[in-house]
Structure 1
Amino acid sequence: MQKIKTALLSYGMSGKVFHAPFLDLHPGFELLGSWERSKKLIQEDYPTVKSYPSIDALLADDVDLVIVNTPVGTHFEYAKKVLLAGKHAVVEKAFTSTVAQAEELASIAKEKGLKLAVFQNRRWDSDFKTVQQVIKDGVLGDLVEAEFHFDRYNPILSPKAHKETPNDGAGILKDLGPHLIDQAVCLFGSPKSVFGDIRCTRENSVVDDWIDLLLLYKDFRVRLKAGFFVREANPAYTIHGKKGSFLKPRGDVQEDELKVGKKPNLDSWGTELDGSEGLLHTEFDGKEICENVPTLQGNYFDYFDGIYEAIANNKPEPVTAEDGVKVMQIIEAAIASNREKKIIDLE
């Protein structure tokens, strides 16, 4: 099996939790190391890898793939540098700061014949995969509306300055928003229009921390919400069709287990706890059905397997740069909508 030599641009939470464990597990990747600016931590977890003193030193090494997992405001600069150096790239969300930047990166990758993917791991959450399957099965009939939530209760400002000071990547719209938007686009494609309501709700907050986005499709509507003042969570996914409804609480366990140092495996990893199943209430063959739906297994490993197939066997990326452009178009439309207090057409 071909080994894809891979390096990270940082080894903070995302590198330690979301990337390195899967790169280490997958037989098709070789983790070379990470660019580390001050704290030198990666060798504590992976003693044989390198700690690069600069991005130039990293790019000068025999690297095939670079994970751009730095703050959002740096994504465009670093991803462009990676691509121009002839390396494949995976860029975390939000993909870039603007649509123009996203389109430029996509163009460079295409011109150079490189793979460029967005890290939207939550397509492989157990809860979302289950929602995706229920919709695919058609048991709800023609869809009328859907509502996705990413709810938290956390009124305290983050100690990380780049998260709480105005900059190109700060705020919940570019933090949790890309997850919700990407999932909607993955299921339904791009909407015709967008309406956005964006607020600051925490004391002394100067960056957006509450969003309510309405995506307008031809025949149905999708509402996306996220905020920090939800002690009692709504269903993470609510889908209503002409035959029935499906409600699913957020239940994926992968992030929590990775944060406490658990290592992913391919058997039981990503299995939700009992009691977080979704509720299906619909009609089938003239009979009303109201039952819990078993949750599918989640596994972020499948994303990295998709990256491997893209690079080693020239398959499409699991989340393409074009997907990233679509998400950025919706984010920009939501910002314009909030500013102008009107619906913004995408077409």
Structure 2
Amino acid sequence: MIRAAVIGYGLGGMAFHAPLIDGVPALELAAIATSRVDQVRERYSEVAVMTAEAVIADPSIDLVAISTPNDSHFPLARAALEAGKHVVIDKPFAITVEDGEALIALADARGLVLSAFHNRRWDGDFLTVRALMESQRLGDIRLAEFRWDRFRPEVTTLWRDRPEAGAGMLADLGPHLIDQALVLFGMPEALTADIAVQRDDARTDDYFELTFHYGQRRVILAASRLIAARRPRFALHGTQAGFIKNGLDPQEPWMRAGGSASAPEFGVEDPANHGTLWHADGSSETIVSECGDYKRYYAGIADAISGKGPVPVDAADAVTGLKLIDVARQSASEGRRITL
């Protein structure tokens, strides 16, 4: 049994890491580092609650999952690796490319598993898109749009809305969208970006649209906090057919509400949100969404630690995403397309 601890019990720790670790048989949720003791006790009465320093110093802890404000990812991960722990880091993997590369070098030197929590590879809608592309039913994709819209016009006092390192929407949602694009299409030839602050009194970016250029193909990654009538989550247009998919994967709201990641209905999407495949003759058919399962990420982490398989998300993939975010900021600042 691999003993795991979660550092941080905000949204990430509460709705993702803790229930997923708890749902993987090869892992034991042994500890949570947080000041929210009562909230932990409501769900995990037997789990130890301690400080981050105590977690890192505990020789019985094998794996540490870091789900804290972005600017703390690097120092916590470095300390955990130096203490001989395997480490999972929530997105963004690090604030800078240099920090990300330093963590990879440290993990390699210590022979430890290090991974970015890019769980959205196991969204049901993304798995559906991936399978549809592999089936060749769309033909050659010429335009793909990945959008993650929200309507949150109020500016909060949370770290995401404070003008500090790692804040803003591009750092928050960009890593997931970029990772999904890289998994499906690989590295683009060029990148064009538009990044803006649109809400009244906002001090961090709350809108972005990135265009990845692949020859004739364009892949658009976009997010905004001012979209009340949400656009399709995925829209793929190929030489033979098109696919439109609305709604977000149901796993997050399920776990936020206290649902078990081991329940039979976990990851099963409401049929009302199933996507539509549009044919060239104007006819259409419903494509039933695949069942999403973030537990596959942590099962892969357990296998990697045990020497039974590769790391489910290579940390180098996350650093590539950080590099593309840097290029996106340069493109938006200079108002030009940048060749990679």
Is TM (by shorter chain) over 0.5? yes
2:138 to 115, 122, 140: 140
**After the TM superposition, which residues 121-140 of structure 1 pair with which residues of structure 2 at under 5 Å, given as runs?**
121-140=119-138
| 8 Å CA contact 2:91, 2:118 repeated in 1 | yes
| Residue aligning to 1:101 | 99
Q: Does 1:294 align with 2:292?
A: no
| 8 Å CA contact 2:254, 2:266 repeated in 1 | no
| Residue aligning to 2:242 | 245
Secondary structure of the structure 2 residue equivalent to 1:252: coil
Distance of 2:150 and 2:282 partners within structure 1: 34
Residue 221 of structure 1 and its aligned partner are, at CA, apart by 1.2
| 8 Å CA contact 2:6, 2:65 repeated in 1 | yes
Q: Does 1:218 align with 2:188?
A: no
CA shift in 2, pair 1:266/1:310, >3 Å: farther
Residue 249 of structure 1 and its aligned partner are, at CA, apart by 0.9
Q: CA RMSD in A?
A: 1.7
| 8 Å CA contact 2:190, 2:212 repeated in 1 | yes
| Residue aligning to 1:18 | 16
Secondary structure of the structure 2 residue equivalent to 1:89: strand
**After the TM superposition, which residues 56-67 of structure 1 pair with which residues of structure 2 at under 5 Å, given as runs?**
56-67=54-65
1:255 to 252, 257, 268: 252
| Residue aligning to 1:74 | 72
Distance of 1:343 and 1:316 partners within structure 2: 36
Distance of 1:123 and 1:166 partners within structure 2: 29
| 8 Å CA contact 1:23, 1:29 repeated in 2 | yes
Residue 70 of structure 1 and its aligned partner are, at CA, apart by 0.8
Distance of 2:42 and 2:328 partners within structure 1: 42
Distance of 1:230 and 1:36 partners within structure 2: 33
Moved more, 188-197 or 208-217: 188-197
Gaps of 5+ in 2: none
1:319 to 313, 318, 323: 313
Distance of 1:341 and 1:30 partners within structure 2: 49
| Residue aligning to 2:196 | 199
Gaps of 5+ in 1: none
What is the TM-score of this pair, normalised by structure 2? 0.95
| 8 Å CA contact 1:201, 1:209 repeated in 2 | yes
Using the aligned pairs only, state the percent identity: 36
1:220 maps to amino acid: R
| 8 Å CA contact 1:7, 1:58 repeated in 2 | no
| Residue aligning to 1:177 | 174
| Residue aligning to 1:232 | 229
1:333 to 304, 327, 337: 327
CA shift in 2, pair 1:196/1:71, >3 Å: same
Residue 274 of structure 1 and its aligned partner are, at CA, apart by 1.7
| Residue aligning to 1:28 | 26
| 8 Å CA contact 1:245, 1:282 repeated in 2 | yes
Moved more, 258-267 or 200-209: 258-267
Distance of 2:88 and 2:55 partners within structure 1: 19
**After the TM superposition, which residues 271-290 of structure 1 pair with which residues of structure 2 at under 5 Å, given as runs?**
271-282=268-279, 290=284
Distance of 1:304 and 1:121 partners within structure 2: 9
Moved more, 206-215 or 138-147: 138-147
User: CA offsets per residue over residues 36-73 of structure 1, 9 Å max, x none?
Assistant: 24656423422222122342553333111000111111
CA shift in 2, pair 1:266/1:48, >3 Å: closer
Distance of 2:254 and 2:156 partners within structure 1: 22
Distance of 1:251 and 1:226 partners within structure 2: 13
Distance of 1:77 and 1:192 partners within structure 2: 33
Distance of 1:183 and 1:233 partners within structure 2: 19
Distance of 1:108 and 1:190 partners within structure 2: 26
Moved more, 301-310 or 205-214: 301-310
| 8 Å CA contact 2:271, 2:288 repeated in 1 | no
| 8 Å CA contact 1:149, 1:234 repeated in 2 | yes
What is the TM-score of this pair, normalised by structure 1? 0.93
| 8 Å CA contact 1:40, 1:51 repeated in 2 | no
